[in-house]
Each structure stands twice: as structure tokens, then as C-alpha cells.
Structure 1
Amino acid sequence: MRRLFAMFVFLLSSSISQGADNWPQFRGPLGDGHSDSQKLALTWDGQQNVVWKTPIHDRGWSSPVVWKDQIWLTTATADGHKCYAVCVDRASGRVIHDLHLFDVETPQPIAAMNSYASPTSVIEEGRVYVHFGTYGTACIQTESGEVLWTRRDLNCDHHEGAGSSPMLVDNLLIFNVDGRDVQYVVALDKFTGSTVWKTDRSADFQDVRPDLRKCYGTPIVVESEGQRQLVSVGARGTMAYDIGTGKELWKVTYGGWSIAPRPVYGHGMVYLINAYINPELWAVKLGGAGDITETHIAWKHTKTMPSRPSPLLVDDLLYLISSDGVATCLEATSGKVVWQERISGKFSASPLYARGRVYFFDENSVTTVIESGRHFSKLAVNVMDNEELMATPAVAGDSLYVRTATHLYRIDESQ
């Protein structure tokens, strides 16, 4: 069913390439952390299997996105006054474009572990869309580096900094704006940047203090009863919207806030994390309308769930890594624990799947690779140069692209 839906998205969306050679958005072609690579490296360090290593100036936690021979990522000064987009040549690691996009007179304070360039860009043929939350959104022509349009009026009080990434659906650029002051989802015309629809969150924020109204999620697209729906995690509730109009279709409600993990979809269910503190994983059955909290929760898992890394669904198993390094494998249909193991480190990046393997990336650039399946089997532990790693890596072709605090790496398996 999941693979049929992947083909459905391919046929209906001109914006997202399903080719293994591109990595167009946060967590890849389908936004689920899957790569088709059959030659992704198993082992590496700071030198072994490193094809090139390119310094990236200033500070940013956005993931790389890849289209053909270009890699794009964003960065910003540590004080938040200047925002940039950087393009790197895929073959050589040479910087092609280094664009100063926005000046920010009075940046809001951010959390120590965040940056002013944390949302991941989204790319397609000829255009890349970069997003800095309240500080601005821009569409850039990839070959020339020309800025085609910008928006700087979609503002909110992030409080801890921006985190939500944009996505492309048909001719729409869609992202969440969930601050302490305003909470909505917006769809822009990707050609002009004009607003097509804007829908306020329907969560009940009455008597909820502002700090508990913010969120950092990235939407996904699912199919339910022949209809594509946009599923968007917010504070106090997750809502599904009609993609063309922004009309709310259904929601589930909870008490969580500041949620960062991107949901995944399969087996007729959406698997979502519903809180930053004491996070729970909920499996929500599709097919309902209105508030379905009491009728469509198939199961919940309430212990050792991630605050920041997103879930990974491979066939009938869910893989999760908590922020303090507990790896859990669950049955996707029942929520039953298959295995649970502690992996050394702290985790913010989301796991990847390729070649029958699951890759977990910790915040000190240590990557633990396990064999996917019902038995925990550690295949490799790869230690780089102890650089801070918060951004989820990308895969394009058979190369792994890892962004650390100071560099972008291309890692290939030895020939």
C-alpha cells in the first residue's frame, strides 16, 4: 500500500522528484527518510571514504537538499542579523553561490541548541525555496542565483527560533507558522509567492499560556479514501487539510507543544509525536472527519519516544531514537515493542534507511548503523571529527551528505 501511494504522489506532483539521484526536501523524496541507494557507505571517519569536505560559514542546522549537480543549504550569523543561502557543486564540493538574502535588524532570542537557519529548503528543477521562519522566505533560480521572489510578512514569535520546513505540493509551497502569538498553515503560489490559502489552527488555546502554543513541525501528504490530505502537527493538536483550499478535514487533540518530529504514513495510519516534553507516539487511523481523537487512535507508545528525531517506517516496523539515545523498534500495526537498545549519545537528527540498514546520527557526529529487522544487529559505529551534528543528513545517488557545525561532507563507499 505504501509503495502504491509513493507512485500516486509521483504521478500527481510535478514538484517532487522520486528519482534516487535527488534529495529535494527534509527527509528525502517522500519526506520519510528513505533512500533507494544500494551502495551507501557502511563505514567512514573524518578521512576514510570522505570524497570532499567543504567549510560552511556561520551557523545553521538546515539539512542539505540536492538536485542534479547542486546541493543547497542555508546559514546565518550566530547573532541572527544576516541570513544566507549556499550552493555547493556536488562533484567537487566547490561553493557555486553564496547569497546574502536577508538582514534582520532585531532578531528574536533563540534556544542555545537552535540556529537562525534551521528550516530545511525544498528544491525542484530550476528553483530552490529557502525559509528562515519569521525572517523571510525566498525563491531562487538555481543556475544563476537570481532571487525570483521573497516574502517577509508571514511573521510569528518563535521564541526559541524557527524549525518548521517548507514542502512543495503541486504548485504550492506550504509551511507551518506556529508561534506564541499566531498559529496557522499557509500555502503560497510557488511561481509568485502570493498567498493561495491561509488557515488558522483550530486548537483550543483558551487559558493556554503563549509558550505552550508554539510548534516546529513539517507537514506530510497522505492519501485517505482517494483524497490527498495535508497532515500538519501543531501545538495542542494535529490537523489534516484539503490541499487545494486549506479547509480542515479532521484533527486529533492533545496537550503537547514545541513538537519537531515529522510524521510518517503507512498501513492506513499516520504515526506522529505529540509533545516535546514526555513525548508520545500516536498511531492515528485515517478515514475520519472532525475531531477524531476518541475514535481513531489505534495505539499509543508513551515511553522513550523522541523529542526531536522523526520516526522511520520500514515495511511493518517503526524505528525511533529518543533524544537521549534509546533506540526502539515497534510493530507498526500494533505498537508492540520488538526490541529496545541504548545507543551512546544525544540525538537531534532523524534516522535514515537505505540498503537494508538504519542510520542513527548523534550530536557528536557519531553514526551507528544497524541492520533493519526484528533483531537488533549493530553493523558499524562511525566516528568523525567530534563536530556538532544537528542537521539530518541527505542521500543522493550513492553518496551521503552530512552537515556538521562547520562543514558539509560527501561520503562514498570505497570502490
Structure 2
Amino acid sequence: MRILICLAAAVLSGSVNAADNWPGFRGPNGDGVSTAKNVSTTWTETENVRWKVPIHDKGWSSPVVWGNQVWLTTALSDGKKFFAVCLDKTTGKVVFDKLLFTADNPPNIAQYNSFASPTPFIEEGRIYVHFGTHGTACLNTVTGDTIWKRNNLPCDHWRGPGSSPVVYKDKLFLMFDGYDKQYTACLNKATGDTIWEKDRKLPYPDNGDLKKAFATPSVFEFDGKAQVVCSAAVGTIAHDVGTGEEVWRVIHGGMNEACRPILAHGLIYLTTGHTSNLIAVKAGRTGDLTKDGIAWRADKIAPSRPSPLVVGDLLYVVSDNGVLTCLDAKTGKKQWQERLEGGKFSASPVSADGHVYFVSESGKVVVLKARPEFEKVATNQLDMTTVPADGGKVDVRCMASPAVVDGLLFLRNHTHLYCIGKK
């Protein structure tokens, strides 16, 4: 069986160096791994910061990078206006700041989320921005013009949207897992028209609050056939990308699942949301894999928000409260476990140039050597004291996952986007 990770830039443009672009949530292959070299491991507000630019209003989406553009989204904290913002990668100058959608009566999501949490997806000439049921749009990255818009994909997110869009060849995949509806939509990326839509038929409880999920799908190829793997509350389902027909499923329990599936060593790594379990599913199989398709599992160590990270033979999972566990990725055997500085963690970790980076909600960024033993290189602190110029209230948290491109590290806190790089 031949297995190939086929997400994002690797499919779209074989001539593009993955180290030069960060097209979507968790990078070129959706796994948080960068091939960039010479990435900074230490910085302060005055050292190794190329630029620091304020981003208006509130958004927890991660930055994406293509060429000399960096894009992210933001929204009014009350959810009445939704924006896409583009910056020049070299200077930090704002190139576009586009108001895309408005809402008259947005729900109250004062809980653990923002109205601009889904990370955009970018490719040559186009970017796809997504605000859950509040709107999805495709923009021309050269002119900033809107190519198409959709705001008729229904879902009561209840706690707000979180799942990011994913492009595979000519298709755009969106996941909706709310209080009332749970489904995956496949759109024609050129027009925004729906190609197929599949309800998530899982053994959900009656309480809609327990049906919520925030995970981003992943696309993998097995023997030349692509499938989109969609993790949700209660279970994970893989669909054929062309037809939407179910290929396999695993019932694993849990709710509030937000971690993205990743593939390595012939295994697909999944987490189970609030039940904190990690499972390794045997890749390339079909049918119900709940009983016979799980290679190994590790209970009570996994996060509900930060996605796992595989670097070589090592698998890292940092729990929501900052306990980092390193496992053998093939067997699940625990290598070590340490509590990281910084309190709570929501951002997904990244690896680059032999190091792994963990960003806490308090703005502490812990850098470790990517090796079987625990070896801390540095703890860096982002400025978390800045308040808006208008004196308004701000949710002081660092929630966005990093982007790593061309030796540069892009970090977003509650008010600013940082470009960090050796000078």
C-alpha cells in the first residue's frame, strides 16, 4: 500500500518550495512541520523582531503566507463585521483590509472563542477565508477583489466557529459541527458552488452542546485515491473527496474536538476532545475501524485544542493545561513528560530546523530541541499588556498557531502580528 500525504501546496504547485509558503492551518502538509532553516529560537520585543504590526478588533485565526503576502482574519468582538487583512511579508505594511461580511444579530459567543478563529487557505492568486456559517469568500490576492461569496451554509455554532477551510486540487472542504447541524461541505473552489454535502451520521447524544466540534479536516491519498478525514464529536469519518461517500469511521467518543488529523508512519493520529485520549488508526483501511483498526492508544494525555506534532519518530502532545508528553510515534510508548511554562495552551505546536515551538495563551513561547530527551532551549515572552488605542476591552490571550516561512516565525497575540527573524 502506497501512502501519500496530499494536502495543500504539495498538490497545488509542485514547483513551489514548501519552506517559502505556509498555505493553511498548520502549514504545507497540515502537520505543523516546516523545512525552513535558520529560524530564531530566542527573541525579545527589541531583539530578532523584524516587525510588529497591530491587528484591529479580535481574531484567533493563524497567519498564512504565500510569496510576499501574509494574510489573517479578524472581526468585531460582537460579531457584526468580518474582515480579511493582508500584510507585506518584508515590511509588515498593511496591503489590504477588506470588510467581507456583516451580521445584524450575531449570537453571543463570549465563551472560549472569537468570530474569526478559522485560519484562511491561500494559493497562487487566491485566498479562501471562512467565518463558519457567517460567511465564506474567495479573494484575488493581487487586487483584493472578491471572486465569490457564500453565507448560506447553516449551522448554530453555539460557541462560535473554529474549523478552517482546506483546498485539495479543485475542491474546497468546510466542516460544520454545531448544536443543530453537523456536516461536511465540498465546494467548487473556482465558483463556491456546492459539489456535495454529507451529514455526520454518528451516535450523538441528545444534547446539542455535546455535538460541537472545531476540527479542521485533512486530505490524504492512499494508492492514488484521496480521502478527506473529518474529526468530530463522538467519532471521525473519512469521505471520498470526489463523491463524499464514507470510506472509514472510528467511534472514539468525546466532544469539543479541535485537533487536526495527521498522518505518519502508516498511522493516522486522532484525539478525542474533552476525554483527552490519543489514538493511532491504521491508515489505508476501509469500513468501521473502531474495533480492529486502532494500532495503539494513549489515554488521558491528549489536548482538546492544540493538535499533535510528529517530528521523525517522536510524537508530541501538549495538553490544554500545559503538560507536554513525548511518545514514540510508531508504538505510543512514553518517552518523557514535563509541564511547560505558560499556563494554558490552545495554539498548535510547530517544528523547524531541529526545534519545536509551543505557544501558550499567556504569550510564553517554549522552544525545545526535537530529540528523545527533554531539552529546553529558551522561553520567550510576547508582550501581552498592550490595550487598544480606543481604550476598549480586549481578551488578553494568545490563541493563534505559528507560521514558519523562509527562516521567519509569524506569531499572533491578542493585538499584534509579529514577524520574528534573525537580523
TM-score for both structures, normalised by structure 2: 0.94
**Would you say the 8 A contact 2:4–2:222 is kept in 1?**
no
1:9 and 1:158 map into 2 onto residues whose CA distance is: 26
Structure 1, unpaired ranges of 5+: none
| Equivalent in the alignment of 1:84 | 83
Measured against aligned partners, the alpha-carbon deviations of 1:173-226 in whole angstroms (never above 9, x if no partner) come to 101011111111111111100001111112123x43111111111011223344
Q: Which amino acid aligns with 1:167?
A: V
**Would you say the 8 A contact 1:187–1:195 is kept in 2?**
yes
1:193 and 1:362 map into 2 onto residues whose CA distance is: 36
Secondary structure (helix, strand or coil) at the match of 1:134 reads coil
| Equivalent in the alignment of 1:374 | 372
Q: What is the percent sequence identity of the aligned residues?
A: 49
Which residues in structure 2 correspond to 1:71-150 (within 5 Å)? 71-150=70-149
Which residues in structure 2 correspond to 1:16-415 (within 5 Å)? 19-205=18-204, 207-275=205-273, 277-345=274-342, 346-386=344-384, 388-414=397-423
1:14 Cα deviation (Å)? Answer: 4.6
Measured against aligned partners, the alpha-carbon deviations of 1:65-98 in whole angstroms (never above 9, x if no partner) come to 0110111100000111000010111111011111
1:172 and 1:37 map into 2 onto residues whose CA distance is: 28
Q: Which amino acid aligns with 1:162?
A: P
**Taking structure 1 as reference, are residues 395 and 10 closer, same or farther at Cα in structure 2, changes over 3 Å only?**
closer
**Would you say the 8 A contact 2:10–2:29 is kept in 1?**
no
**Would you say the 8 A contact 1:18–1:30 is kept in 2?**
no
Measured against aligned partners, the alpha-carbon deviations of 1:139-166 in whole angstroms (never above 9, x if no partner) come to 0011111011000011101000000000
Q: Which amino acid aligns with 2:29?
A: L
Q: Which amino acid aligns with 1:402?
A: L
**Would you say the 8 A contact 1:351–1:360 is kept in 2?**
yes
1:223 and 1:15 map into 2 onto residues whose CA distance is: 16
TM-score for both structures, normalised by structure 1: 0.95
**Would you say the 8 A contact 1:17–1:124 is kept in 2?**
no
1:26 Cα deviation (Å)? Answer: 0.3
Larger deviation, residues 283-292 vs 19-28:
283-292
**Would you say the 8 A contact 1:16–1:124 is kept in 2?**
no
| Equivalent in the alignment of 2:394 | none
1:71 and 1:337 map into 2 onto residues whose CA distance is: 37
**Taking structure 1 as reference, are residues 164 and 18 closer, same or farther at Cα in structure 2, changes over 3 Å only?**
farther
RMSD: 1.8
1:17 Cα deviation (Å)? Answer: 5.0
Runs of 4+ in structure 1 over 3 Å off = 6-18
**Would you say the 8 A contact 2:22–2:28 is kept in 1?**
yes
Larger deviation, residues 136-145 vs 300-309:
300-309
**Would you say the 8 A contact 1:218–1:233 is kept in 2?**
yes
Q: Which amino acid aligns with 1:42?
A: T
**Taking structure 1 as reference, are residues 264 and 97 closer, same or farther at Cα in structure 2, changes over 3 Å only?**
same
1:129 Cα deviation (Å)? Answer: 0.5
**Would you say the 8 A contact 2:9–2:23 is kept in 1?**
no
1:278 Cα deviation (Å)? Answer: 2.6
1:108 Cα deviation (Å)? Answer: 1.3
1:405 and 1:127 map into 2 onto residues whose CA distance is: 26
